[in-house]
Amino acid sequence: MTQRSFPPAGASDRRQFLYGLGASLGSVAFTAMMASELDAAGANTSPSGEAGPLQPRPQHQPAKAQRCIFLMMEGGPSHIDTFDPKPALERLHLKEFNRSGEQKSAMESGKRYYVKSPFQFRKAGQSGADMAVNWEHLAGVADDLCFYRGCQVDSVNHPTAMYQMNCGNRFGGDPAVGAWVTYGLGSINQNLPGFVVLPAVSYPQGGSANWSNGYLPAHFQGTPLRPTGSPILDLDPPRGVTRERQRRNLDLIAKLNRRHAAEHPTHEELSARMANYELAYRMQMQVPDVLDLQSEDAKTLTKYGVGEEPTDTFGRKCLLARKLVENGVRFVQLYHGSWDSHDYIERAHGSLVPAVDKPIAALIADLKDRGLLETTLIVWCGEFGRSPDNGVRGGTAYGRDHNPSAMTIWMAGGGVKAGHTIGATDETGAEAVEGVHHVRDFHVTLLRLLGLDDNKLTYYHAGRFKQLSQFGGKVIEDLIG
């Protein structure tokens, strides 16, 4: 990829104007198209005729998937209590292991103890996938899933682990996976952002840096939609302003801006403003239909759990994700929080799973029915797994601590090895022992499924060419069907 430059440091008044647009249609257009270059007719080209950066670009190699839906369970869901059963914990429950191997009651010692899962497990589908029984609906699509138990990360802290899972770097400031994908492939639909984020009411730990463009140009950052109320404000023109009047105004502004751009060719933020106006104009035509869930039939709404508790909130996100990818959005990330269960894991996970189970199963089945699952990669994960043991917390308030050495990630569609479980953890779930790979290898594999080569998907910054994996990674071939 060729190097692209940031807008110059000056012209702060224009930059402040753009950022000041807030959570409105203008901000959506800004985050999706800043520095994009459009001609007066709205084509995605600069005044010099150069193609804009969000135009679709060829893959580095044949792709299995064309788009991705990333389901981020923030807080670190417990693999031991969802998809990786550990019968050994039945025997070790409330026992402490010393280095000598001696076992004694941790309730007496006041130290750490092993905790068995409060959930029963079953084999689901013809593939015999391991699932806790409270995943009632996901069991129906078990044969479409590929479970991976070999991934490891570096951090036990939520913000740094979130950054690493989302951006490849524990310390923030780097581009998110969705930003890299959009940078590499462009946007399928020029009337919508290429990378859309559906956050929870409270942003995840680490905030919006989890979907940042980092050092990439700003139009590759994720565009968050509002979790409550209208997903995007100011979709309709001001009262009394017709589409024809908007078009005439934009044409006049574009004419003046092109004249100014010819005199100041290095002022890229001017092109950004032009792109912002043009995309906002086009989005007013398409976005209302995409975001209108009531246009779906009652059967579909019921299938996703819309209008029901506890599935309504995440069901809306999953249905909206389907509509977004169906309309050409390249990368959609959904957040569901509160998986950080240090105690009362039966109560915590027992309420979280029903909130996402039905909507996720409906998303997979719906994409499959529409012929989209084969080319849509779905990823489900948290930032790390959970430990098989915990400290004593009030007698029976059993929970689990953070565990970067073992976790379960599952994928569906997009060319993954459906109906398989790859990798394994030890008998207590404390550490991955088979098919072990660092998260950088998992990221490289996601890029490969989307037709991108991590070694070619680079950007020159701070004196070197940078990439998602930081310094290179290895494709996990066992995950690819």
3-class DSSP state of 243: helix
Burial label for 13, CB within 10 Å (0-12, 13-18, 19+), is exposed
- Residues 377-389 have a mean pLDDT of 97
- The tokens for 281 are 């104009």
Domain that holds residue 188: 56-227+295-479
- Residues 361-390 have a mean pLDDT of 97
For the ranges 71-80, 163-172, 270-279, the lowest mean pLDDT is seen at 270-279
Residue 2 has pLDDT above 50, yes or no: no
Residue indicated by tokens 């050092």: 215
**pTM value surpassing 0.75:** yes
Pairwise CA distance, residues 27 & 371, whole Å: 33
- Which pLDDT belongs to residue 46? 36
In sequence order, what DSSP letters do the residues of 249-273 get, joined into one string? HHHHHHHHHHHHHHH-TT-HHHHHH
Q: 331 — phi, psi (to 5°)?
A: -140, 125
Residue 455, sorted as left (phi over 0), alpha (psi -120 to 50) or beta, turns out to be alpha
- Which pLDDT belongs to residue 16? 43
Reported as a pLDDT band with limits 50, 70 and 90, residue 319 is very high
- Give 399 or 412, the one with higher predicted confidence: 412
pLDDT in tens, 241-275: 666 766 676 677 777 777 777 777 666 556 656 66
* 8 A C-beta contact, residue 279 and residue 246: no
Helix H, strand E, coil C: the string for 132-175 is ECCCCCHHHHHHHEEEECCEECCCCCHHHHHHHHHHCCCCCCCC
Pairing of strands 223-224, 195-198: parallel
Helix H, strand E, coil C: the string for 322-390 is HHHHHCCCCEEEEEECCCCCCCCHHHHHHHHHHHHHHHHHHHHHHHHHCCCHHHEEEEEECCCEECCEE
Contacts of 344 (CB under 8 A, 6+ apart): 397, 398, 399
Pairwise CA distance, residues 147 & 419, whole Å: 8
pLDDT in tens, 170-201: 998 999 999 999 999 999 988 888 999 999 98
Q: Is 1 a domain residue?
A: no
Residue 34 has pLDDT above 90, yes or no: no
- Which pLDDT belongs to residue 236? 61
Q: Is 3 a domain residue?
A: no
Q: Is 475 a domain residue?
A: yes
Pairwise CA distance, residues 190 & 215, whole Å: 23
Produce one character per residue of 347-369: b if its CB has 16 or more CB atoms within 10 Å, e if not. Answer: ebbbebbbbbbbbbbbbbbbbbe
In sequence order, what DSSP letters do the residues of 55-73 get, joined into one string? S----SS--S-SEEEEEEE
Residue 276 has pLDDT above 90, yes or no: no
- The tokens for 74 are 């923030």
Instruction: List the CATH number of the domain containing 175.
Output: 3.40.720
Reported as a pLDDT band with limits 50, 70 and 90, residue 9 is very low
Question: CB count, 10 Å around CB of 453?
Answer: 16
- Which pLDDT belongs to residue 256? 79
pLDDT in tens, 129-145: 999 999 999 999 999 99
Reported as a pLDDT band with limits 50, 70 and 90, residue 21 is very low
- Which pLDDT belongs to residue 113? 86
Q: Is 269 a domain residue?
A: no
Reported as a pLDDT band with limits 50, 70 and 90, residue 95 is confident
Q: Is 30 a domain residue?
A: no
Q: Is 154 a domain residue?
A: yes
Question: CB count, 10 Å around CB of 426?
Answer: 15
Work out the angle at residue 153's Cα, subtended by the Cα atoms of residues 183 and 72, and round it to the nearest 5 degrees. Answer: 60
**Distance set, CA 132 to CA 85, 104, 298, 348, 413 (Å):** 8, 29, 29, 14, 22
Q: How many domains does the chain have?
A: 1
